[in-house]
Amino acid sequence: GAVTLGAAALAVLRPSTHARTTLALWGPVLLAIAWWAASTIPFTSFGLAPQNYHWIWPIGAFVTISITSSLAEAVSTHVAVPRHVVVSVVAAGTVLAMVPNMPTMVRERGTSAEEDAMVGVAGELRSELADSLVQLGLDEPVVFDRSQERTFSRYAYVVMAELQRQGVAFGFDREIDGERFGDRRRLDAEQASGMRRLYLVTGTNLDLVDDDLVQLATASAVTPADDARRIELDRRLVGALADGQLIVDMGGAFEIFGERVDRVVAVVDGQRPGRRGVYELVRIMSGLQNYDLLGGPQELLDAIDEWIVLHRANELDRVAIFVDPA
């Protein structure tokens, strides 16, 4: 902050172009705005989430250029090298220094086909929810209950966007949601107790929904063919793990994943997971494969990738919205 202010003062006090002076003056302004905005982002239950701050990079790049631009012009008056050469060299060095710090996101899995399916589900879900809210005439605040939504589901934002568009006020009574979306949407137990609840439910949790709830919308990217193939791979790959065709490096697995590997041990010992438990087994098998802790025939190892995709779609891209009866 002090360096940015110093660069701004330098640009104002020394002869400088209008553009460079403007650039230097905007540096501390943007830095202050970014500092304030970043400080308002709540911590998550996992601590500081780096992805929530990726937007700071272009501001940092702008501020850095505003500083180096002023310094380069000041230096150019004390050296024999032409001013435009000094400024160009410093600018190029600044860019080269900033590029390696550009935030990136690495996705080990995920295809454009999956993304297209997600967009389709989101559109269908929002359209049905919009129609249902109009018919329902919901004019009271609701508790948005995400307790039956699978981790890494991506449809809560679709629901919240439509609720806001329809003017339906909502809040959260789970601590993790309050941390994520801010105190103004946090509800204590007493506040939530007298409010209707709107539920976002995904995957096999749909099998557990109370019959008394009113369904507002539903959408799915899973086809009957997907279901059949997933069930086929369940039998094939769980059987291969139980029969010893798929071999797990248990020492390395426990070192990295800890007690989560107990699900794998149970299958190796002859226990078959229930229908809802297969997904958790699939998740740990995915991790084992990523860490090269899983061995066996290549045909089976290749099938695991498809198995993971099908189960992820079944748990994340089958979604419905319900509300308490009036």
In this predicted structure, what is the pLDDT of residue 236?
Answer: 93
Q: Sign of dihedral through CA atoms 118, 120, 121, 122?
A: positive
Return the C-alpha torsion angle 74, 79, 85, 91, nearest 10.
-40
Residues of the chain predicted below pLDDT 50: 1-15, 108
Closest-CA residue to 46 (of 226, 176, 215) = 176
In this predicted structure, what is the pLDDT of residue 59?
Answer: 76
Q: How far apart are CA 34 and CA 52, in angstroms?
A: 12
The structure tokens listed for 301 are 């190892």
In this predicted structure, what is the pLDDT of residue 187?
Answer: 82
Closest-CA residue to 251 (of 272, 265, 270, 230) = 265
DSSP 8-class letter at 172: B
Q: Which residues, in sequence order, are CB contacts of 324 under 8 Å at separation 6+? A: 196, 197, 198, 213, 214
In this predicted structure, what is the pLDDT of residue 22?
Answer: 62
The structure tokens listed for 110 are 């995920």
In this predicted structure, what is the pLDDT of residue 245?
Answer: 94
In this predicted structure, what is the pLDDT of residue 130?
Answer: 94
- The CA–CA distances, whole Å, from 249 to 141, 196, 254, 291, 292 equal 52, 49, 9, 10, 9
In this predicted structure, what is the pLDDT of residue 173?
Answer: 86
In this predicted structure, what is the pLDDT of residue 144?
Answer: 93
